[in-house]
Chains A and B, each alone.
Chain A
Amino acid sequence: MPYFPNPEEQLHRSAKQDLFQGTDFYAIDDLLTEEHILIRNTVRDWVKRDVSPIIEDACQRNIFPRHIIKGMADVGAFGPQLPAEYGCGGLDYISYGLIMQEIERGDSGMRSTASVQGSLVMYPIYKFGSEEQRNKYLPKLASGEYMGCFGLTEPDHGSNPAGMVTNFKDMGDHYLLNGAKMWISNAPFADVAVVWAKDENGIVRGLIVERGMEGFSTPETHNKWSLRASATGELVFDNVKVPKENLLPNVQGLKGPLTCLNSARYGISWGVIGAAMDCYESAVRYSKEREQFGRPIGGFQLQQKKLAEMLTEITKAQLLCWRLGVLMNEGKATPAQISLAKRNNVDMALNIAREARQIHGGMGITGEYSMMRHMANLESVITYEGTHDIHLLILGMEITGENAFA
């Protein structure tokens, strides 16, 4: 990844202590195993040590802190739910969710990096790839030696990926890929891209495109107000020759990318609880310390209402995720159930970030506290992996059987 200067020395390490403890009003820990808790606490400790001190500076200056990729891999953030034989964690879906929660507690951009790698790059290679593809890519992606990105969205086709125009032709000994993808997380530094494109019959297929292939470039998207510690870019394919063995053999049609999205959306449902807890806990602390009119602001009913509602919503979201995790483990979770959780929880987190920001008054506006960063990040999270509206339409269709998309 020569693209980036090594930011480790450049980033300012904040001396502020990370006081996060984790919110568990309904003793949901009792529903977890000893190993779940060990995994969660491990990632939490890692975030406190390696992410929290640099994340504010990285976001303010729009730098992807690539030096923490190794740590992310070590704590098992890349494909924890995939089998150990490919260098992955071999863990269950609740562990996966907890890892996402803790990373997003640090920053949604860091969680995005992990989600894309694990659910959108490694998962399709595992699920739809050949044995050779699995062996070639998965161990390197699990260890962070390779970083990956996922190209579905196009400039003119976001919520409606079926309309995609990126396509490839069979040239006999290779495929010729043309088109462009937009808003692609990890694109600027990715070594491999899982790209969804139409074949000559208009059927969506997955291709593994590697950095260095002629005609393939990844210009960075600048000036985001959100996910500023995550790099976003385009994927441009100008007559890229893709070897035939790079086609994912075992899936055809939009089912391919949508299956990946299910896995990532599940992780997001947990992840945003992390962001919400971070904002809530900060608000609780501030409301006890900050005095106005001669008493802590936490003594005023208006602030108590906000805090009580935050805790209520976090607790509901936690129970939702736990149950969804059990269904995922049993292989029974449906896409509509995942849509419900993603939609509900991201919205919940965004509202909590806003309310928590207000509880901090003017102090909430600076990077001294995390809410404004979480809030801005969550604007992307509520848009990507299916917008808030699209998940509502998915649920609407589930309930009524009527398709209201088009």
Chain B
Amino acid sequence: MSVVPDTTTKVTFTDNNTKFNQSGVQYIINPYDELSLTRALEITEAQGGSVTAIHVGLADSEASIRKALAIGAQEAVRINAEPKDAYFVAEQIAAYAQGQGFDLILTGRESIDYNGGLVGGILAEMLGIPYINVVTKIDVNNGVVEAIRDIDGGRETVKAALPCAASAQKDLTEPRIPNMRGIMAARTKPLQVVEPSANNAGSTYAQYELPPAKGAVKLIDPNNAGELMSILHNEAKVI
């Protein structure tokens, strides 16, 4: 699971637009990861098993990890490294997951900060297990995973054998709000800190830019389609 700026954050940059300005920013669990976590809990509650929340990041994300434990994960692991890029994160998680015997690895379809949508796929490849991307429904029966994905104009049902990885899409389930008992239990649940293994970030962030500020709205008479066409063509240069 990743930890991302709250959706109401006003995004600004520092260091000559090469770094995201973290000051005053509130962090939350990436909403797609919250869906994965909740679905993992539902599956294990129905069929037995336990849920481990894995995060690559520094100590300041422990509040969010504690929340994952309060929501219901039995244990958590924090791999103590700045999450440099998707390859790096996937590699760290793969290194940890190797040999742990996880049956199902759920990620979000993407994190809502960088929106890369890559970690799940790279991770599955590194572990050599099947990967089902962007699922809106996932069940496990007798060692077989059955998932539904929305595709253009329809839905696709995919089956795979365990162990398997999948990424959560909106509508997978309803995220859970922790309850008091969960918050109390989270105090004593294990949160293991693991040092990172290799350091293979393939990319660096060169420059950030904000989208251009919204300009004034131009109203065009509905009878004047020609003018609209010419503006779209010559001024906005979108057609």
Contacts and interface: CB of A to CB of B under 8 A. Distances in A.
Given A42-B177, A46-B177, A35 B183 contact: yes
B63 interface: yes
B67 interface: yes
B67 to A, nearest CB: 6
Interface string B166-207: 000000000001111101100100000000000000000000
Contact of B184 (A34, A37, A84): A84
Interface in A68-82: 74-76, 80
Interface in A34-88: 34-35, 37-39, 42, 45-46, 49, 74-76, 80, 84
B70 interface: yes
B146 interface: no
A74 B180 contact: yes
Nearest to A76: B180
A34 B184 CA distance: 13
Given A42-B178, A46-B177, A49-B177, A37 B63 contact: yes
Contacts of A75: 177, 179-180
Contacts of B66: 34-35, 38
B85 interface: no
A179 interface: no
A335 interface: no
A166 to B, nearest CB: 35
B180 A45 contact: no
A76 B63 contact: no
Given A76-B183, A89-B184, A38 B177 contact: no
Tell me if A's interface is mostly helix, strand, loop or mixed. helix
Interface residues of A, number: 17
Contacts of B181: 74
Nearest to A37: B63
Interface in B37-74: 62-63, 66-67, 70
B223 interface: no
Interface in A14-41: 21, 34-35, 37-39
A34 B179 contact: no
Q: Which of A39, A42, A75 has the most CB of B within 10 A?
A: A42
A90 interface: yes
A389 B180 CA distance: 37
B25 to A, nearest CB: 12
Interface string A169-204: 000000000000000000000000000000000000
A37 B8 CA distance: 17
Contacts of A84: 184
A364 B67 CA distance: 37
B178 A89 contact: no
Interface of B: 8, 62-63, 66-67, 70, 177-181, 183-184, 187
25 contacts: A21-B8, A34-B62, A34-B63, A34-B66, A35-B66, A35-B187, A38-B63, A38-B66, A38-B67, A38-B70, A38-B178, A38-B183, A39-B180, A39-B183, A42-B178, A42-B183, A45-B177, A49-B177, A74-B179, A74-B180, A75-B179, A76-B180, A76-B183, A80-B180, A90-B184
Given A34-B63, A38-B70, A75-B177, 10 more contacts: A34-B62, A38-B63, A38-B66, A39-B183, A45-B177, A49-B177, A74-B179, A75-B180, A76-B179, A76-B180
